[in-house]
Amino acid sequence: MRKMLYTAIAVAMVLMLVIPSTVALSGYGVNEYKVGQMEVSKKIATLRAVAVTDETLIVDGTLVNMSTFTQPRPLESQAVFAGLFYRRTDNFTSYTIHYALMDMATFMERHQEGEWGLGNFSDETTVQGMTPDDMKDLVKDRSKMMELMKESKEVCGEATENGVIQVFRYLNGTVYIHVTDNANGTIKALIEQQLGVILQQYGDSPVTWYNVTTSDVVDVKVGVAIELLSGIWGDRGGLLPTVLSYIETESEPLKTYFGIHEAMFVTPSTTIDFCSFIGTTMARESFEDFVSYLDGQEFSLKVIVRSILEAEEGEYTEEELTAMKERLHGPAVERIVDAVRETRRVSVNECVLVNLENGKLEIEKEGKVVIKIEAEGNITLVSRVHNASDVQDILDKLPEDLILATEVVLDIDSEEVSGELTIKIKIPEGIPPEEVKIAYYDESTGTWNVVSTTVVVENGEYYAVVVTTHTSLWTLVTSAEEAPEGLASYYPIIGIALIIVIVVASYLVLKRRKT
């Protein structure tokens, strides 16, 4: 009997502990939580870093964090977006900050999925099967990254509730600020706080324009833009604040374009947090800390680190991440060249990071231009022209029916391609222009591919021309069967000449001995 009494008391005490807790939770509106609910996370990240100086890197990255709950949560389905886009031209610097909040049904109605569209990252099934290798091509191909950024802007622009801040800083000292506020004055209040300008609304329109001088503005630099973005995002958490904390904001970015974007898809059963960035400037130490943070957060991580000067590329496992510091050494490029609607000239074997905005880059050898690169649009790339003898191991992979028709090989690596790239290679004297083609080296297959080539005449010189949107090793080739006398292979001629010399010399020696 006593034993039964103790058992009853114990059961009653357990019920007393459980029931009040259940009531209290119900009072806070979270009674839908079920016993045994678990959260399962999938974290993947891919980073690409290019060392441009001893201490500075340009970093691109894509991070995804998906949390799946075994029981639904009492949350509304939402799609939340935020982004910062930096742009520099020859006469102004601009920052565009987006913020959008919509329900998931509206997002799916307005969104058209693409190969690397935002829809891939809003789909739970897709993310569950995704690996860092799946994202690697996205990070390495800047054109895909640019398309992703463009799509995020379109999504923000179509949002039912949104906020937009545009700041244009002109070199003549004028600053224009354009604000769209559909967030009950939150955006305008943030501008007042961060930039210190008095806002005046024009009528009932949510759009306001301001024309101020730089003396009226606290500071219009990347650091301020990042603070504005952080303020818009608020306390939502996620990957965006983490990435922002590692970006170098003391000076303007080295590149003409920089962008960061986060999309958070919230449903009762799953939250997908996707963050992508391109052209961010980080100190080497900050990048190493960033990688360590992701590693410590148990991200499945792929890191691609490259020193431009040595053209090295490494893909590291978690065990190899400790060797990263030794691989980041510089200076990686000899100089940074801006060609914004103008022509700049560099020399063969000079490694440069060049920003081309409807501009031209000419590469000269011994005072004569041998290659021209022209951009239609905004293109940033690493350019270096090698003497053929310096890359002979790759040239040995030319098909047997092709031979080199020039003494130089163009090596360009894409940092950002938003437009078309025109490559012009000078045709040496003595080689018939109609018998040459431009070929590029496909690193993935280890083969050379001939592309459609046209010929133009500029200042009396013949150039072979190709228009492309991708970068690689490029050179001029001709058919081995129709090898011209110019820079075609001299070996058969030299061989015949040597044979004749040997025969004549032997004849003269024998004749002298007989006499």
CA distances in angstroms from 171 to 342, 357, 378, listed in the order given: 18, 18, 20
Residue 168 clears pLDDT 50, i.e. is over it: yes
Q: Which residues contact 427 (CB under 8 A, 6 or more apart)?
A: 405, 406, 433, 436, 455, 461, 462, 463, 464, 476
- pLDDT at position 360 is 93
Cβ-based neighbour number of residue 185 at 10 Å: 13
- pLDDT at position 476 is 95
Q: Tell me the pLDDT tens digit for each residue of 249-259.
A: 877 776 677 88
Residue 138 clears pLDDT 70, i.e. is over it: yes
Name the phi and psi angles at 409, rounded to 5: -130, 125
Residue 428 clears pLDDT 90, i.e. is over it: yes
Q: How buried is residue 270: exposed, middle or buried, by Cβ count under 10 Å (0-12/13-18/19+)?
A: buried
Residue 329 clears pLDDT 80, i.e. is over it: no
- pLDDT at position 240 is 92
Quote the CA–CA distance of 381 and 202 in Å, as a whole number. 43
Higher per-residue confidence, 238 vs 444: 238
Residue 420 clears pLDDT 80, i.e. is over it: yes
Quote the CA–CA distance of 166 and 180 in Å, as a whole number. 9
Judged by DSSP in three states, 120 sits in helix
**Residue range 398-425: average pLDDT?**
85
Phi-psi region of 394 (alpha: psi -120 to 50; beta: other; left: phi over 0): alpha
- pLDDT at position 242 is 92
Name the phi and psi angles at 12, rounded to 5: -65, -40
Higher per-residue confidence, 32 vs 473: 473
Q: Tell me the pLDDT tens digit for each residue of 1-31.
A: 444 434 443 333 332 222 222 222 222 222 2
Residue 87 clears pLDDT 60, i.e. is over it: yes
**Residue range 483-510: average pLDDT?**
58
- pLDDT at position 357 is 77
Residue 362 clears pLDDT 90, i.e. is over it: yes
Domain extents for the chain? Answer: 1-31, 39-327, 335-484
The pLDDT confidence band at residue 345, using thresholds 50, 70 and 90, is very high
- pLDDT at position 161 is 63
Are the C-beta atoms of residues 144 and 116 closer than 8 Å to each other?
yes
Q: Tell me the pLDDT tens digit for each residue of 434-461.
A: 999 999 998 888 899 999 999 999 999 9
Tell me the sheet residues that pair with 97: 84, 165
- Of the listed ranges 186-195, 295-304, 337-346, 472-481, the least confidently predicted one is 186-195
Name the phi and psi angles at 90, rounded to 5: -75, -10
Residue 285 clears pLDDT 80, i.e. is over it: yes
- pLDDT at position 307 is 58
Closest CA to 459 of 436, 426, 485: 426
Q: How do strand 270-283 and strand 56-69 relate by DSSP bridges?
A: antiparallel
**Residue range 40-67: average pLDDT?**
85
- Of the listed ranges 40-49, 108-117, 192-201, the least confidently predicted one is 108-117
Higher per-residue confidence, 381 vs 114: 381
Higher per-residue confidence, 136 vs 271: 271
Higher per-residue confidence, 384 vs 418: 384
CATH 1.10.10 fits 335-484, yes or no: no
Return mean pLDDT, the chain. 75
Residue 111 clears pLDDT 80, i.e. is over it: no
Closest CA to 427 of 419, 417, 418, 437: 437
H or E segment to which residue 96 belongs: strand 92-103
Any idea what DSSP says for residue 129?
A: T
The pLDDT confidence band at residue 312, using thresholds 50, 70 and 90, is very low
Helix, strand, coil fractions of the chain, as percent rounded to 5: 30, 40, 30
- pLDDT at position 44 is 92
Closest CA to 311 of 144, 135, 138, 472: 472
